[in-house]
Every structure is written in structure tokens, then in C-alpha cells.
Amino acid sequence: MRKYELFTAKEIKPAGWMLRQLEIEANGQSGNLDKMWPDVKESAWIGGTREGWERVPYWLDGFIPLAYLLDNDDMKARAQKYVDAIIAGQCEDGWICPCTEDKRLTYDIWALFLLSKTLTVYYDCTGDERIPEVIYRAMKNCYDYMKNGEIKLFNWGMRRWFEAFIALDLIYKQYGEEWIKELAKMLREQGTKWDSLTERWVTPLNKWTQETHIVNIMMSLKYEAISHELLGEDYTGITEKLYDFLYKHNGTPVALFTGDECLAGLSPIQGTELCAVVEEMFSCELLFAYTGNSKWLDILEKASFNGLPATVSEDMWVHQYVQMSNQIDCTTFPGKPIFRTVGKPAHTFGLMPHFGCCTANLPQGWPKLMLSAFMKADDGIVNAVTIPGSVKTEIDGKGFEVSLATEFPFRPVFDYTVTAEKPLKTKLMIRVPAYAKHLTVNGKAARAKDGFITIEKTWRDTEKIHVEYSVDAKIVRTPAGLYAAEMGPLVFSLPIEYEKTMKEYVDKAGVERKFPYCDYEIAGKSEWRYAFENAPLEVEYRGIDSEYPFSETKPAVVLKAKLSRINWELADGYEHVPAPKPASPKAIADAEDKVLYPYGSSRLRMTEMPFALRRK
């Protein structure tokens, strides 16, 4: 049984830096793919001739909540145009994916699961009464094919079987028909058993496999949570063990995993695919909603505030396919790439620096994080992710609103305004991470329990609550055996100066790269061979830039550190990739004062470094 329910874009609204981040996304690549990217603009989903599989459903999965969170009439109309076209294309027997009837049995129905999930998002945002029936008919058609043995799960549908359960839950609650549970069991039986694959995650391979595919794995983190109830199974919490196992063998300092596209082991110079970042975020959001375990919020915050902004440009017009912890150059490899399973330009920034899945899937990251900020409990409201925004709802038929003004994650100070239309006794539960120190509520010392402080009272009119705590800046050991600086959920890096070269062209598939959605080669120019000195870190708050919250040139907070030059070799056979570790951390010069930027504000960076060794 789910512990908390998600609000929708009808109830949640962004504010402060989060509102600005969503505006940047809407004005950037994600908000404009239907205007300039053929795979969305001319998709087979809307009667065109381009890709008719995952890319439009991926894009809509983020574009729809973005449009409604911003209450942007133009974006809402554009989203409706796509939804209307998809519904109009549904066949009489319920088949909805854009392929001819003779191709149905070889069509990978992962696209059906993804589309159905996306339609539930549209239903949440709009209340469009067509949607449950559209999903019902599509899933009943799928059931009929699978029951008759004409369709069996394979390839992506086999690995991502659980993604169908978000839509199946919706229609089971509305229709309650037994075939829905039968379909759920068939998907479970034919789908990949992710908890049986851990031995394949230990040693990275220079080989592409579905079972080590990082996006499949990040999606699968939520499989038990979202499927167990409809399947009639007990929830065992297996995902906690799976996550910890993955992190031990493939973890990065920002709570991600190396995977480019497949698991790549413990190395600061291996990449993490962008799709994996947003799918890990979504899995953590649902895992917390189902379990109430604040561990998933710790992971969510670290991935969201570091991994997501780091792999896109400030204006969100271009992105990388893969990001690295230690990334001193993002130019196309002239020969064999350092990555295990992706190509030469995968770490460059552009419209589609490798496969277009990340171009289409990127949009869900920030909007779904905002939609997870506040959740519904049986006895009140939970502020799960303390980002600026508000929720306006009814409890026991009485209007109730909670708004939060904050600069978190850059500064842990929180100002709440609670408005009750009529006197109302209920709870407000506020997230307090385990790293928080000296917690106060309205100036008085307080203590959190299980990751939250709970304020239970009869609320009247408008009341203010001020929450504050302190966070230590420290240097911690990374999974790869080096060290990184962090403060709360933020990881910090030594930024590398660079020279950027713009590339405008039309590729072999006829896809144009034109400013602002062109490609960029980024060549590192400043020294990167450093190690930490055993000296305190100094925190300097500078304030959030009004234009770009994760600004490269005006970061909201920095750490001042002492670093020393060392002889750090290049990776064997590469001119612009550092070795995973230096042969020796011996200092070769006096310590220098350096300023570390948030990982999310650095495009080129050194994040994982050793401690400098000095001979007495």
C-alpha cells in the first residue's frame, strides 16, 4: 500500500529558483522539440514519417507537467495537439502504437507501457475523461494478444515490464476487472527478474547488454514498489539491497552510477547516461511515496542537484549523453573513446550527442521533482523535497495551502507560510536530512524523527514557520577510492576553464544543428592536476543568480579549499583524459587557495582527487 500520494500540477506550483529553472527548461531544448526536432515534430505518433516508438512519449512525459506547472497556455495547447492525435490514431480494437497491423507482432510494446504512463500524467494534469478509456482499450488489446500467445515480451518491453503498472493501477481503480490483474501477472512472469542479476553488475564489460543497461536498471529500482500491490505480493524492500550493491561496484560521488550505456565500474572517468539520471530521480520519488523511507530522498536530492544540472548547459539548449566526475575535456575522441559502450562524441554537448533517447527523456527531470515536493498523507501534508513552491488543496473539505520560500540546496533556511481557510487540525511534516545540525523551528531547538519534523496543530488563518539548520562542509571518500568535497546534498568540484567551439551542420539523417540547438566541443584550458590538502573548507554564500540557478560564472555557494599540484598522469593512450588515479599523490609545489564550485555549476571539472602527500 502506498504511504503517500502525489499531488498534481493543479495543486502544486513552483516558486523562487525552481520556477526559474522550469522557465529555463520551457525556453530551451525541452520546450521546443516539437518545433525543430524531426523525431518529435514529424513523428509517426502524429501522422508523420519519423520515429514512432519511444521519443514522443518520452518527451510528453516531461513536457506535459512542465506546461501545467508553468500554466503556459501555448505549451498546454501544444501538448493537447499531440495527445489528441495519439488518441485519434487508436484503432478500433484498442491498438494505439503507430505501426501497420502486419507489424504489430514484432513491435516492441515498451512504447505502449511508456505512452500509457505518459497519458496518466496528462490525466493528472487535465482530468481529461477520455484518458482512462483510452488506456483501458490499449491495455485490453495488449492482454488479448498476450493471452493468445501472439505477443510475448522481448527486448525493451521485457526489461521494462513494470513501467506498465502505473497505468494498470489507474484503470484497475476505475474498472476493477480481473483481466487487469491477469495482465499484470503475465508481464511479471515474462519480464526480467532484476533481483537475480546482481552478479552481472560486479565487473564491467566492454560489451552492450540489456541486463547491465544503466537506464533499465535505474527504472527497475522501483519495480517492486509499483507492482507488488496489483500482483498481490508482499513488499520486501529488495530495492534497498540492489541500490547498495550497485553503489558499491559502480557508484559515483553524486549518488549516480557509471553507465555509458552499460555499467562501467568504479572510475571517475567513466560516464553516466543522462536518461539514467532522470530515471533514477523518478524511481526515488516513487520509492519514497510508496515506502516513506527518507533514504530515497537523500539519493534523490544528490542526483537532482548535482547530476542533472551538470549534464546540460545553463540555458538547457544542449546536453551531454554521458557525464563524468573527472571531466577535463569534452571534445570528440579522435580514436577509440574512453567509454565502454558509447561513441566518440557522447560527452560533448549538443542536440543529440549520441542516441536521441536522452534528448527526448531529459524533460521529465525538473517537473517531476517539483511534483514530488509535497505529498499527501492520510493525516496531513508531507514536504518531501524542500524546494521553493507551494501546494493548495482541501483537507476535510477545507482549503489549506502551504508555501515554501528557500534557497535550498544552496542554503538551509526555510520560510513556510501556512494558510487555513477555516480552522483545521492536521499535520505538516517537514523534511530534515540526517546531515542537518543545530535544527531550529521558529528560533527554538528542535529534533527530527525518521527524517522529518512534524507540526500537528489546529491551523487558523495565516501562520509563518521558520526552519533553519546548519550543514558541515567536508571531504568524503568516494566509491572509487578517492575523495570529494560536499556540503549537504551538494558535491563540489574544481572547475576547469575551457574554450568552446560551436558546430552548426545537418547530419546524415537530415537533422539540423543550428544555434541555439547546435553542438559544442569544449576544450579544457586550465590546470587540473591537484590533490586535497588536509585543511578546513570555507563556505561562501554568494546568492542565487537571477538568470541561471546553477550558473557557471556566478555559483550560489562555493567552497574555498587548499589544493596542491601533483604529477597526475593521463589515461594510457589519451591526450585529454586523466588517469583514473595518479600513480602518486606526492605534492610537487606549495598549497594553493582554490575555489570549488557546485558540481552542477561546472561543465569541466575535477571532482574526485586524492589527499596530497608531503614528506616531512
Tens-digit pLDDT profile for residues 339-397: 999 999 999 999 999 999 999 999 999 999 999 999 999 999 999 999 999 999 999 99
107: cell is 513491435
Query: Stretch 152-164: mean pLDDT, rounded?
Result: 98
Q: Which amino acid is at 455?
A: I
What local confidence, expressed as pLDDT, does residue 614 receive? Answer: 82
What is the rounded CA–CA span in Å between residue 276 and residue 260? 9
* DSSP SS3 for 112: helix
Side chain identity at 185, as an amino acid letter?
K
Within 13 Å of residue 12, how many CA atoms lie on the same side as its CB? 32
**Residues comprising the chain, all counted:** 616
- Which neighbouring-strand residues pair with 400? 393, 420
The H or E element spanning position 86 is helix 73-88
Helix (H) or strand (E) segment spanning residue 291: helix 274-291
Cell 501538448: give the residue: 79
Contact 5, 291 (CB under 8 A): no
Segment 437-481, tens digit of pLDDT: 999 999 999 999 999 999 999 999 999 999 999 999 999 999 999
Is the pLDDT at 264 greater than 60? The verdict is yes
pLDDT score for 1: 66
- Distance between CA atoms of 134 and 139, rounded to whole angstroms? 9
pLDDT at 32 over 70: yes
Q: Are 562 and 593 a contacting pair, CB within 8 Å?
A: yes
CA dist 16 and 93 (Å) reads 47
Mean pLDDT score, 240-264: 97
pTM: 0.98
Confidence band for 615, pLDDT divided at 50, 70 and 90: low
Q: Tell how far CA 523 is from the center of its chain.
A: 27
pLDDT at 616 > cutoff 60: no
Mean pLDDT of 144-159: 98
Please report where in the chains the cell 551538494 appears, as a residue. 490
Query: Has residue 195 got a pLDDT over 90?
Result: yes
**With contact defined as beta carbons under 8 Å apart, do 200 and 158 qualify?**
no
Average pLDDT (68-85) is: 98
Alpha-helical regions (H) of 526-610: none
pLDDT band for 65, please (50, 70, 90 cuts).
very high
Instruction: Map grid coordinates 602527500 to a residue.
Output: 613
**Runs of H (alpha helix) within 89-222:** 110-126, 131-147, 155-159, 165-175, 178-190, 214-220
What band does 2 get if pLDDT is binned at 50, 70 and 90?
Answer: confident
pLDDT category of residue 49 using cuts at 50, 70 and 90 = very high
State the Cα–Cα distance between residues 440 and 183, nearest whole angstrom.
50
> Is pLDDT at 103 greater than 70 in this prediction?
yes
Whole-angstrom distance, CA of residue 421 vs CA of residue 511: 53
